[in-house]
Structure formats: structure tokens, C-alpha cells
Amino acid sequence: MDSKQKIFNILNRAEGVISGETLSAELGISRVSVWKHIKGLIESGISIISSPTGYRMTLDPDSLVPWAFGARQDRIHYFQETGSTMDEAMVLARKGCADFTVVVAQRQTCGRGRMQRTWLSADGGLYFTVVVRPDIPMMLAGLVNLAAAIDMANLLRSMYQIDTCLKWPNDILVNSHKICGVLSQMEAEGDQVAHMNIGIGLNVNNAPETEEPIAISLRALLGRPVPRREILVAFLDAFEKRMLAFDPHAVLDEWRLNNVTLGRPVRVITVKDRVEGTAVDVDFHGGLILQLADGARQTVMVGDCFHR
């Protein structure tokens, strides 16, 4: 733990003001160094009031800086602004970062969605990518995406009492409006997954509906701003637990229970094709099984699904 993190922890635990002298004695560094670290913390968005008697921190519950994540802080990589957390995560994953490393950004300049779409990434939304290294064959990778959407949908339902449901493959909807999307990238070694980077964009305190009428934010639904850190922490708690004991059958059962796609007539647009039929089930790899007009069945692995 570096001095900046130690200062953060001391101020975070403290009830009131902590003098510069106390910090310099506890850390064994000069008062000037203490001040430089305090300045660094302030620049990264932490609110620290300095007075003649010392420093006092008020931790903004919305702050996503690593120090605010306690024991997880070493695995959190925070960016005030980046192109896409997917790209940052890929660099870290290829360098061998730990399982459950997280890249989170305040905003993205080139946020991307599935099927080469842009993901609006203004201030206020929650944009992050988790690197996971599950010990599973490549053919089960699609289920990890479903699992991430299930865990996020569950926590939004239980923490904020909103009626989330899943649209194939892993969109989270509330009243037919999209609140969250999941994008993943994977690299393999042989036929085993080496790492999967699961990128999640959740509309929290941003206003995507001004540009994207089918989108909705948590703030618009609840009529109040929501601190993003509690969402990220709850997601990581649930998703880490799930991935450490990954059960493909449980993922499929939960997805079937919470989806709004199965049983409906749908149109799926794939990169080269368009398929229409009734969505009847998901297969063991997370593919959508369609019953076509002539009674034949076709499974689609990747695509954009429109409910008709």
C-alpha cells in the first residue's frame, strides 16, 4: 500500500480532523510529502478539507476511486476519462492481471456496445470492465455474459425495487427501456478460456434518454440520484461469488426465469443475416433457439434481438 492509500485509509477511519503532524509521524514521511499526497487525493476527486488544525475527509458515496473500495482497491483501475474500459482491460489482461481486476471510468470518449454500436458514456453512468479467468471451456463463455446480466438485474431489483428483466442475450430492461448492456471480449488458450473481459454500462445518473429514447436511467426511474459505488460493490460481491463456483445449469435456469424473450415472436439481426421466428429456448452455450415459420429450429449465437 502506498502513502496516498495509507493517508486515505487513516482519514477515512478518523472521526474528525487529523493533523499533518500525525500523518507525517504515522507514515514516516515529511509534512511536505503529506501535503503532496493530499493534493493528489483531492485531484482524483476526493473531498478533503484542510484547516489550520489538519485534514478532514468526507467520502462521496458516488466516488469510484480505488481507495474507496477497501480490500479490493489494488484490483480497481480508475480513469477520470478513457476511450473505452474494454481497451484498458485488454492491456491489463494480456499483461496477466489478477482475476477480478476492474477498470472503471467516470466517462468514456469511445464507449462501445455490441454489434459495433456506440455506447453513450457521459458523466454519471457506471462504465466498467471486469477481467475474469474462469476455468471453463470456450464453448461456455456465452454463459458468463448471461451470468453478469443476471447478477446486475438481481441487484437492481433487490436494492432499488425496480422491475428488471432480461432480453436476449444480455440487455437489462425496465418497462421495455434499456437500462444496462453487457459487452464481452475473450481470449483462449487451446479450447479453454484464458480471460474474459466483461464490460458493463449501466445508466445511473446520466440521461441517455435525451439521445436514445429507448434508454432509461436509474435516476429517472427513482426520481433521485443514486451513488454508483454501492452498485459496483454489490455487483462485484455477487459476480465474484458466482464465478468462483460457476454452475452453467444455474445460470441457464436463472436466465430462463427472468427473461422477456422466450415465447415471443422475434427478429434477430446477425452480422450477415436476419432470422425471424418464435424464441423457444436458450441452448447450453447461451444461443437463442428460434422456431421458424416452417417448423424448423435454428440457433443464433450472436445478434441483435428485436421483440415483434
DSSP one-letter string for 82-96: ES-HHHHHHHHHHTT
Q: Which is nearer to ligand BTN, 63 or 170 (CB)?
A: 170
| Cα gap 132→102, rounded to integer Å | 9
Q: Which is nearer to ligand BTN, 18 or 153 (CB)?
A: 153
Please check whether residue 107 is in contact with residue 120, taking contact to mean a CB–CB distance below 8 angstroms.
Answer: no
Nearest approach in angstroms of CB 137 to ligand BTN is 24
Stretch that binds ligand BTN, among 32-40, 71-79, 107-115, 274-282 (CB under 6 A): 107-115
Q: By CB under 6 A, what part of segment 134-173 binds ligand BTN? A: 171
Q: Which three cell numbers stand for residue 265?
A: 415472436
Q: By CB under 6 A, what part of segment 59-88 binds ligand BTN? A: 84-86
Tell me if 124 contacts ligand BTN by CB under 6 A.
no
| Cα gap 255→169, rounded to integer Å | 10
Nearest approach in angstroms of CB 83 to ligand BTN is 8
| Cα gap 287→306, rounded to integer Å | 15
Stretch that binds ligand BTN, among 51-59, 124-132, 140-148, 268-276 (CB under 6 A): 124-132
Nearest approach in angstroms of CB 300 to ligand BTN is 16
- The interaxial angle of helices 228-244 and 141-160, nearest 10 deg, is 140
Please check whether residue 50 is in contact with residue 39, taking contact to mean a CB–CB distance below 8 angstroms.
Answer: no
Nearest approach in angstroms of CB 198 to ligand BTN is 9
Residue whose Cβ sits closest to ligand BTN: 181
Nearest approach in angstroms of CB 144 to ligand BTN is 14
| Cα gap 191→182, rounded to integer Å | 23
Stretch that binds ligand BTN, among 45-53, 66-74, 121-129, 148-156 (CB under 6 A): 121-129
Q: Which is nearer to ligand BTN, 98 or 214 (CB)?
A: 214
For residues 178 to 197, the per-residue mask of contacts with ligand BTN, x marking binding by CB under 6 A and - elsewhere, is: ---xxx--------------
Q: Which is nearer to ligand BTN, 134 or 201 (CB)?
A: 201
| Cα gap 237→243, rounded to integer Å | 10
Please check whether residue 187 is in contact with residue 96, taking contact to mean a CB–CB distance below 8 angstroms.
Answer: no
Closest C-alpha among 148, 216, 232 to residue 183: 148
Place of cell 459496483: 232
Cis amide linkage into residue 169, ω under 30° from 0: yes
Q: Which is nearer to ligand BTN, 201 or 277 (CB)?
A: 201
Query: Under the rule (CB under 6 A), what is the footprint of ligand BTN?
Result: 84-86, 108, 111-114, 117, 119, 127-129, 171, 181-183, 199-201
